[in-house]
Structures are given as C-alpha cells and as structure tokens.
Amino acid sequence: MKLFYTLFLAGWCICQTANAQKMQPVKSIPETKKSDTSINTEVNSRKIVTESTVVTQHQVTIKGQRISYKAVTGTLPVWDETGKAIAGLFYTYYERSDVKDKVNRPLVISFNGGPGSASVWMHIAYTGPVLLNIDEEGYPVQPYGYKENKSSILDVADIVYIDPVNTGYSRAINKDIPGSKFFGVNADIKYLAEWINTFVTRNNRWGSPKFLIGESYGTTRVSGLALELQNSQWMYLNGVVLVSPTTLGIERGDALSAALRLPYFTATAWYHKALKTDLQAKTLSALLPEVEQFTMNELIPALAKGSQLGEEQKKQMAVKMAAFSGLSEKTILQHNLDVPPGFFWKELLRDQGFTIGRLDSRYRGIDKQDAGEDPDYNAELSSWLHSFTPAINMYIRNELNYKTDLKYNMFGPVYPWDNTGNRTAENLRDAMAQNPSLHLMVQSGYFDGACDYFNAKYNMWQMDPGGKLKDRMSWKGYESGHMMYLRSADLEKGNNDLRDFISKSLPKAGAASKF
C-alpha cells in the first residue's frame, strides 16, 4: 500500500436508451446502444493499439434535465519528432448530442495525478456523467457499481478524460521507447500538449472555449500545459482549474513548510473533536482565519529564527500550536515546533487506537501497534481503491463497450520521474499574463494533508505577488479531503462552482481579449 501511496502523489503532496428493469440494483444509468461507427480491432487482446474508437449513446439527468450524449472511448497516437507513433493514449470523451454549435460549447480537458495515476478519480466520482457506488461521505458500498451523476458538468461542457502513458490502458508501443519521452515534469507536458492538438483537431474543437482541470500532480501538469499549449501549439485557453494543487515548483524551505501546515492540523483536529472546548465550539469557517493569521504573523517569523528563538518565546509558540493542533505542548517542543505530517497522522488519535489518513484525514486506520512515528498504511487510499477499481473496470467494458485484455492501471510504472526544471507555477502565471482571457480557480479540501489548502492559497499569493492577476484568480474550500467531491454535499457544491467558473470565464460575444 505504501507503493500505491508513492505512485499516487510521488513526493509532491504527496474519473442511452434501454429499460431500467434490466439493470443491476446500483446501475441506475440506462444501458448503451453501440454506434455503427465503433471500431476496436483488438478486442480481447493485450496488443498495444495506437488508434481505436468505440462510440456509444447515452442519457443522463442533470439538475432535473434529461440530456443525451455520446461517449467515445479509444486511443490516439503520441507522435515523435519524425511523425512516428510511439504510444497510444487511452481517453474517454463525452459530447452532448443535442448541441450542434461546437464553436460556443466549452471543452473541459481533464487529468488526474500521481504522476502515475489514471484519470479515473474525477471521471467516475466528480465531473463525468456516471458516479461510482459510495456512501454520502465517500466510503465503499457493495454491490460495486455506478449510477447517474446528477451533478455532472456535462450539461454545460463536453469533457475528455486522458490517461497518460502507463496509466489506464495507455502504453508505449514497445519497450524500446525510452521512458524519458514521457516520465518527467517537462517531457510529460510536451507530449501531452502534442496529443491534445491531435485530439482537438480530430474532433473539430479548435473554435471551442477550452478549459484544463487537473487534480493533485495533475495540477502540476495542467499548469505547465497552459503555457506549453500557447507557446508550442498556439492554443489559447479560457480557464485552468487546480483541484488539490501541489506546490507547483514553488520553493518553501523547512521553516516555511513547517509553519504552513498548521492550519491543516487545525482543520483535522476540529473534525475529530480533538481541540479544547473554546476552539472546538467554533465553526470551521470561523476558526481557520484565526489560525491562518497566527501562522502568517507569528509562527513563520518564529520558525525562521531557528536557534535564535528564545526559550520563553518558543514555549509561547508551543502553547498556541498545541491549542490549534490538538497535540500536546510537550510533543511540539520535542519536535522544535516542526511536527512532521506523518507523526501527526499517527499521534492525533493514538490514545483512541486509530491513525488518520494522509490524503483525507477524515478516514481512520488501525496499526499493528499504537507505538511508532508513522501509520502502517494509508487508510484513505485503501478505501478508494476498494470502491474505484471494480467500478471503472465494469463501466468501461460493460457500458462503454471498450473491450481489451490490457490491465487498467489505476497506478502505473512511471519511474524514474525527472523532477528537474519544475517551474509550473511560473508557467501558469506567464500564460495568464500573456492571455487576458485565461482564468484560474483552485479547489481544496480542508482535510487534505497531502496537498493542503493553506499551501494552495500560498501558491496563489506567490504566483501573483503584484496582485495584477487577482481579479482572474479564485479559491474554493470544502469540508472534505484530497478528493473533496467524494463527500456528497461537496460533489454538488464543487460542480456548481465549476459551472459558475466556466460561465464567468467565457467572454461576451465580440469582446476583444486585451488588458
């Protein structure tokens, strides 16, 4: 499980028309009708296919409106510099059927993270037309399956979910293709920009308003793609959405990193009712500004002093940090005010016999022994793999009719990953500076300990220190974790925020793009 965790965040924060009586109980979406245009010549084979297409027709009810759409599943090539296909990228593309005007129809291009993760999470749990079978808080429920996503953004935008090389069904054509073509911050951005060009051209979407959305390492990816698409593909975007963003290459340093995680500690301790009575009685929205002010105005300067911080001031800091974190003053002093996240996940509920999750600290786990510095496993990721893996395999094969004997890689081998030259926050800033029509929205879960919400805010402050872009930047918080949409209330809220963002990012007809 620790291998899964490493692949998921990789040190940075680390996806119709038939009668309902034929459905399984949890399958409340209509069965598909296969289109005459479907092509998949390698059915029931493990052969790598660079081009394949399966088209099916469906319907979904979103916000009370019945919507018809087609789903296109298949692969398109990744080309090298000579025009030779070196990989086949698997994708799922949803296009609303009753909208003929593609020029004004937004296109959302979606990635998840890892960097070795398939685009499965947002596909069948957030923005897509189907929703995996989980309870109101996001925990697995059997029988496995899926149903209509009544909150999907397909009513306002078409969506394509892309699996990078070695994730999902995407593969290089053979083992002789060097991994360096794909597995690195900048290599990843370069080949995916080329692939997006192919996809947009093949599907006649050059005139459409375009949006990128990425989650976790996907935020690193789409931040870099915003500039790469402009500079190398001459493709200009209307919006970028960062869901649970990484640090985007912005350096922190030890003292700053230690301080910035405290507001996340506070949110998590509040959720588990581990704070003292006066703080616990406050709402989260009332409590967090208090700890944020303490962090910025007192804790950062104190930690920056290091050994020059006086003993009395150090004790005063420990008292306040203990109050805000649910940990003891003694524990905080023993760590010189720098409590490692892993220790926090082990320590907060140690006396109750539980650990807490990293990516979503609402989840609880149990270790072999209560002693120790870090949890034995990642409680939240175990839960997610439990519910997502059966659902995506069933859905692609049974509903979308894409059949292959390739293994669908929830996490795939993408290492060694070249992290050098990560300036993706600056890439995104440059893209926004050069394109007056480009807008940014960030979505964060308060209980995410991998890509925490306060570091997401810090990214925005550092990207735009002069404040010249702030009228095109927004941040949204949710009482959930890394995949904030797993909580039913935040699934609806998050998608409504996406709808508003798309609407506000679309220029008025005839309006010039200029400062």
pLDDT per residue as tens digits for the range 202-234: 999 999 999 999 999 999 999 999 999 999 999
pLDDT above 90 (res 69): yes
Q: If we measure between CA atoms, which residue out of 333, 327, 297, 335 comes closest to residue 315?
A: 333
pLDDT reported for residue 9: 42
User: What does the pLDDT look like over 392-415, one tens digit per residue?
Assistant: 999 999 999 999 999 999 999 999
The DSSP letter of residue 483 is S
pLDDT reported for residue 325: 98
Location of structure tokens 């001459």: 234
Average of pLDDT values for 466-491?
97
Q: What is the mean pLDDT of the chain?
A: 91
CB atoms within 10 A of CB 281: 10
Counts for the chain of helices (H) and strands (E), in that order? 16, 15
pLDDT reported for residue 38: 54
Q: If we measure between CA atoms, which residue out of 294, 295, 349, 311 comes closest to residue 327?
A: 349
β-pair type (52-62, 33-34): antiparallel
User: What does the pLDDT look like over 313-339, one tens digit per residue?
Assistant: 999 999 999 999 999 999 999 999 999
Exposed, middle or buried by CB within 10 Å (0-12, 13-18, 19+), for 211? buried
Query: Which of 13-17, 101-105, 168-172 ranks highest by mean pLDDT?
Result: 168-172
Location of structure tokens 């698997």: 90
Let me know: does 295 contact 247? Beta carbons within 8 Å.
Answer: no
pLDDT above 70 (res 25): no
- The helix (H) or strand (E) run that includes residue 3 is helix 2-9
- d(C-alpha 242, C-alpha 299), whole Å: 27
pLDDT above 90 (res 356): yes
- Reported confidence tier of residue 45, pLDDT bands at 50, 70, 90: low
User: What does the pLDDT look like over 143-202, one tens digit per residue?
Assistant: 999 999 999 999 999 999 999 999 999 999 999 999 999 999 999 999 999 999 999 999
pLDDT reported for residue 47: 80
- Reported confidence tier of residue 102, pLDDT bands at 50, 70, 90: confident
pLDDT reported for residue 2: 44
Let me know: does 363 contact 379? Beta carbons within 8 Å.
Answer: yes
pTM above 0.85, yes or no: yes
pLDDT reported for residue 146: 95
DSSP labels, 247-301: -TT----HHHHHHHTHHHHHHHHHHTT-S-HHHHTS-HHHHHHHHHHHIIIIIHH
pLDDT above 90 (res 444): yes
pLDDT reported for residue 36: 43
Q: If we measure between CA atoms, which residue out of 74, 78, 88, 125 comes closest to residue 396?
A: 74
The DSSP letter of residue 245 is -
CB atoms within 10 A of CB 314: 17
pLDDT reported for residue 6: 43
Q: Which residues contact 243 (CB under 8 A, 6 or more apart)?
A: 122, 126, 213, 214, 215, 216, 218, 219, 442, 443, 444, 484
